[in-house]
Amino acid sequence: METGETFVALVIYPSTKAGQDDQAETLVRMAASIRRMPGFVGGRVFLGEDGESVISLVEWQDRESFAAFRRSEFGRAATQVAGELHPKAYWLRPHASIDAP
């Protein structure tokens, strides 16, 4: 099934078993500000079962909404802090959605 032209940012942060929960909670706290940004659709934070990663998945109405967030004062600060953790980022556009019957 085809989806709309939303934009998704998938970011994988390296972590440790000892630091994983705190790192994830920091991302959740940051989401309180991100969720007020125009074009924000929603987000999720995942923990790698091996304890070696924290993954964020954030969806925006479109690429421009995400770009506007990155240009905002908060977005620039969040990007700088996140960059210090050396994450692997993937910028994605939906191709299909498969839902349960």
Residue 43 pLDDT more than 50? yes
Q: Tell me the average pLDDT of the chain.
A: 92
Residue 2 pLDDT more than 50? no
What pLDDT was estimated at residue 21? 96
Burial group, residue 56, by CB count within 10 angstroms (0-12, 13-18, 19+): buried
Q: What are phi and psi of 56, to 5 degrees?
A: -115, 140
Long-range CB contact pairs, 43-47, < 8 A, 24+ = 47/20, 47/21
Read off the pLDDT of each residue in 25-45 and give the average, rounded to a whole number: 92
Read off the pLDDT of each residue in 39-65 and give the average, rounded to a whole number: 96
Six token digits for residue 17: 């078993």
Six token digits for residue 54: 């924290």
Residue 25 pLDDT more than 70? yes
Read off the pLDDT of each residue in 89-95 and give the average, rounded to a whole number: 93
Six token digits for residue 50: 């091996």
